[in-house]
Amino acid sequence: MVMHMLQQNTQSGRASGKACFDEWTPASIQLEVDALKHIPGAMLPILHAIQDRFGYIPDAAVPIIAEALRQTRAEVHGVITFYHHFRSHPVGSNVLHVCRAEACQAMGGRQLESHIKASLGVDYHQTSRDNELTLEPVYCLGNCACAPSIRVGDDIHGRMTPAKFDRLVDRLTTSTLELK
Amino acid sequence: MMAVKLYVPCDTTALAMGADQVVAALSSEAAGLGTELEIVRNGSRGLFWLEPLVEIDTADGRMAYGPVEPEDVRSLVEAGLLEGGHPHPLAHPLAQGLTDAIPYLQKQQRLTFSRIGITDPLSLDDYQAHRGFRGLKKALALAPQAIVNEVKGSGLRGRGGAAFPTGIKWQTVLDEPQGQKYIVCNADEGDSGTFADRLVMECDPYMLIEGMTIAGLAVGASQGYVYLRSEYPVAHRLFKLALERAYAAGFLGANVARSGRHFDLEVRLAAGAYICGEETSLLDSLEGKRGMVRAKPPLPAIQGLFGKPTVVNNVLSLAAIPFILDQGGAAYAEYGMGRSRGTLALQLAGNVRRGGLIELAFGITLNELMESFGGGTFSGRPVRAVQVGGPLGAYLPASQWDTPIDYEAYAAFGGVVGHGGVVMFDDTVDMGEQARFAMEFCTVESCGKCTPCRIGAVRGVEVIDRIRAGENREANLELLTELCETMVDGSLCAMGGMTPFPVQSVMKHFPEDLQA
């Protein structure tokens, strides 16, 4: 039934909030590239596939993509670095996006931002020392009527407050320990 | 006994406010009572201050309870929520009465958003039970020129911000010689304070599929792409599922609705670059390049994606098409004022008590919107400034809140309706900081192709910092004035060309906040 499928999907979306990436090898990168290289405008789909699977786009992927798409390494590098979404370095167990845009600012987003940076001890594009959380800025998650918002993995959280944030981080880091 | 039927929305905001946890709590209460429960994960009605909005099917219609937090479920169940035949509304503080009678919803004119929140977004049966695919069926019986004429007659103008007449754009692509043509949907809804595109894709995805298919029939394009921002994971998941089902049911592919006509549709994920909401950067990005702005001409309608004639339309423009084909361009044009025909999806956000989606004919004022819909600020403090039209839109002071919202009326005082986002700020806002942010955002998001935007934004941040620090204030204000003019006049696209709008509005209407 429709509703059950949707529920399952929603829940699987939640489960994937936890990052669980494969270790890359040249062969596994090549597989991702080969699966998509024939579609028109294959570059972004390939980069997404690699980052979704390995958590980031390793430097070793650049010549493989360049070769497959008949472009220069510089062109591939240029695309990767142009887009905020693509990363060339590994991330922590969770990627945390904090919305910096106006609707969130109007609801105390700047104070929330300072609290998050201070409590994790990191700035944007950095990973906490325990390797649990990577902090990234984002400009709008489309949850602007229930601001301020943050995103953890694929989950959006609305009406965020410093206290709610601290509880959320506790939950995230505790569940990681349980898994170990 | 009949199962109790409940609705709990599955859109981003409902999920962000705990809808899944509410479903879990309801299921466990029902299991404890041995009650059979049917939970439909519907779309959101767009009444976001009430999310998660739980509805129950009753003989009188759907009754609403909200905002329901997981902790509220127990008391709702104790009041009789899961007892079949219990009279509604229950005696409970979260009772909102009949959903359709909630004034916020009742006062709207929902043409495009007529189904959201009512249907299960992925149910093709629900879609068709609510006039879905009727526009497509009519279009299949029409010649391409007749479809374009219907769209021209509706007066529809691009809802993405530029407000270019959609019918004219389609005509240009239709007039190009036959061959490979494309329909591209701009779903890179990057403006802060907007969520209408997201609502379409999450709550009524078949409407967009139908609109794009009609566009394909109209101009002779057999391939469509939806360019969706990566910041919308829920929309991505739901829209991909909708595409699969539309293909499986034969509404897409080589034989659209058994007509022998061909239309393929694919969703492509963007990668977090605001500039890719600009149509030519979007096309470069779809082609697999850096999202750099192209000089126009050539127009995308003539040389667009992969150099072929391409219709690039915003989600909301394409979403308006099924109604226009189903009920006629004239029916759509009956709404609105002046040259702004039809309805506008206003999105009320930021510091607001009752934020959400408000679809109305053009012509409402901000005062009316913020009071009768918004109910004032969330903080309870007075409103000080309102930003309309996203991060490139001016900050409007109280003196401008009585202007009817219409493309021309807003342009007359230097405002932009844009994509219809309305972000409210209370009196604690530091407008100097907002002006600085406008420039800062441009430093982060400029594609770098033209100098006024790439360098101007960086200098803009520096000059505003000096002004706010009281350094050579008068001279630096003059410099900022000139810098803004250079950016407006000299930039290649709206990114650099409009970034000064919020800054200029702060200089003009909130100069006291640019004091040291």
B474 burial class (0-12, 13-18, 19+ CB within 10 angstroms)? exposed
The single-letter DSSP state of residue B253 is B
> Which among B39, B95, B28, B88 is positioned nearest to B65, based on CA atoms?
B95
From the list B10, B230, B429, the residue facing A10 with the nearest CB is: B10
Q: Which residues contact B60 (CB under 8 A, 6 or more apart)?
A: B88, B98
% pLDDT > 70, chain B: 100
Least confidently predicted of A171-180, B246-255, B291-300, B349-358: A171-180
**Residue A3: what pLDDT?**
39
In Å, the largest CA–CA distance within chain B is: 79
Average pLDDT over residues B111-130: 98
B432 burial class (0-12, 13-18, 19+ CB within 10 angstroms)? buried
Average pLDDT over residues B379-390: 97
From the list A2, A7, A149, the residue facing B23 with the nearest CB is: A7
β-partners of residue B426 are B383
What the block records as the tokens of B448 is 């770098």
Q: Is the predicted pLDDT of residue B439 greater than 90, yes or no? A: yes
- Collapsing DSSP to helix, strand or coil, B437 comes out as helix
The single-letter DSSP state of residue B392 is T
**Residue A125: what pLDDT?**
95
**B195–A143 C-beta distance less than 8 A:** yes
% pLDDT > 90, chain B: 97
> Which among B187, B232, B202 is positioned nearest to B41, based on CA atoms?
B202
The single-letter DSSP state of residue B298 is S
How far does chain A reach from its first CA to its final CA, in angstroms?
Answer: 36
Average pLDDT over residues B38-50: 98
- Collapsing DSSP to helix, strand or coil, B130 comes out as coil
Residues B63-77 have pLDDT tens digits of: 999 999 999 999 999
Sheet holding A150-152, edge to edge: A126-127, A133-138, A94-99, A150-152, A155-157
Beta strand A133-138 with A94-99 is parallel
What the block records as the tokens of B231 is 């910041």
**A85–B271 C-beta distance less than 8 A:** yes
- Collapsing DSSP to helix, strand or coil, B434 comes out as helix
CA atoms in the 13 A half-sphere facing the CB of B349 = 37
What the block records as the tokens of A98 is 């904090």
Tell me if B40 sits within 8 A of B120, measured CB to CB: yes
Interface test with B, best of A4, A82, A151 (most B CBs within 10 A): A82
d(CA B328, CA A16) in angstroms, rounded, equals 44
Residues B165-194 have pLDDT tens digits of: 999 999 999 999 999 999 999 999 999 999
**Residue B61: what pLDDT?**
95
**Residue A60: what pLDDT?**
97
**Residue A176: what pLDDT?**
53
d(CA A19, CA A132) in angstroms, rounded, equals 10
Tell me if B270 sits within 8 A of B285, measured CB to CB: yes
Residues A100-140 have pLDDT tens digits of: 999 999 999 999 999 999 999 999 999 999 999 999 999 99
Q: Could you give all domains of chain A from N- to C-terminal order, each with its CATH number?
A: 26-82 (no CATH), 94-172 (3.40.30.10)
Interface test with A, best of B4, B5, B11, B15 (most A CBs within 10 A): B15
What the block records as the tokens of B422 is 């309305």
Query: Cα B150–B256–B116 angle (5° rounding)?
Result: 65
**A79–B290 C-beta distance less than 8 A:** yes
Residues of B in contact with A144 (CB under 8 A): 192-195, 347, 349-350, 355, 421, 423
CA atoms in the 13 A half-sphere facing the CB of B260 = 1
CA torsion A139-A140-A145-A147 (nearest 10°) is: -50
- Tokens 């405008």 belong to A41
CA atoms in the 13 A half-sphere facing the CB of B167 = 17
- In whole angstroms, how far apart are CA B367 and each of A69, B363, B375, B403? 54, 12, 10, 9
Amino acid at position B109, single letter: Q
Q: Is the predicted pLDDT of residue A6 greater than 60, yes or no? A: no
**Residue B516: what pLDDT?**
73
Q: Is the predicted pLDDT of residue B317 greater than 50, yes or no? A: yes
- Collapsing DSSP to helix, strand or coil, B65 comes out as strand
Average pLDDT over residues B119-138: 98
φ/ψ region of B423 (left if φ > 0, alpha if ψ in -120 to 50, else beta) reads beta
Chain A residue with the nearest C-alpha to that of B379 = A107
Q: Could you give all domains of chain B from N- to C-terminal order, each with its CATH number?
A: 4-102 (3.40.30.10), 124-332 (3.40.50.11540), 335-426 (3.10.20.600), 431-514 (1.20.1440.230)
Residues B320-342 have pLDDT tens digits of: 999 999 999 999 999 999 999 99
Banded model confidence at residue A1, pLDDT cuts 50, 70, 90 = very low
What's the full length of chain B, in residues? 516
d(CA B312, CA B316) in angstroms, rounded, equals 12
CA torsion B257-B259-B261-B264 (nearest 10°) is: 10
Which alpha helices (H) appear in chain A, and where do they start and end? Answer: 2-15, 26-36, 43-54, 61-69, 73-82, 102-105, 109-120, 162-179
Q: Is the predicted pLDDT of residue A13 greater than 70, yes or no? A: no
Q: Which residues contact A176 (CB under 8 A, 6 or more apart)?
A: A18, A93, A132
Banded model confidence at residue B3, pLDDT cuts 50, 70, 90 = confident
ipTM of the prediction: 0.95
β-partners of residue B425 are B385
Query: Cα B328–B330–B334 angle (5° rounding)?
Result: 125
**Residue A19: what pLDDT?**
60
Residues A60-102 have pLDDT tens digits of: 999 999 999 999 999 999 999 999 999 999 999 999 999 999 9
β-partners of residue B422 are B348, B388
d(CA B426, CA A145) in angstroms, rounded, equals 15
> Which among B333, B489, B317, B492 is positioned nearest to B419, based on CA atoms?
B317
Residues of A in contact with B123 (CB under 8 A): 2
Banded model confidence at residue B218, pLDDT cuts 50, 70, 90 = very high
- In whole angstroms, how far apart are CA A104 and each of A110, A156, B213, B350, B440? 8, 13, 36, 6, 16
Element (H, E) at B40: strand B37-40
Banded model confidence at residue A18, pLDDT cuts 50, 70, 90 = low
B305 burial class (0-12, 13-18, 19+ CB within 10 angstroms)? buried
Element (H, E) at A95: strand A94-99
Q: Which residues contact A167 (CB under 8 A, 6 or more apart)?
A: none
Interface test with A, best of B8, B10, B12, B120 (most A CBs within 10 A): B12
**A146–B51 C-beta distance less than 8 A:** yes
**Residue A15: what pLDDT?**
38
**B444–A145 C-beta distance less than 8 A:** no
Beta strand B4-7 with B54-58 is antiparallel
d(CA B90, CA B314) in angstroms, rounded, equals 42
- Collapsing DSSP to helix, strand or coil, A123 comes out as coil
pTM: 0.95
Residues of A in contact with B48 (CB under 8 A): 145-146
CA atoms in the 13 A half-sphere facing the CB of B68 = 31
- Tokens 């206290």 belong to A163
Average pLDDT over residues A5-20: 43
What the block records as the tokens of B328 is 């006629």
Selected residues 111-170 of chain A with any CB under 8 Å from a CB in chain B: 138-147, 149, 151, 154-159
**Residue B13: what pLDDT?**
98
Element (H, E) at B350: strand B343-350
Beta strand B182-187 with B95-98 is unpaired
Buried b (16+ CB within 10 A) or exposed e, B485-502: ebbbeebbbbbbbbbbbb
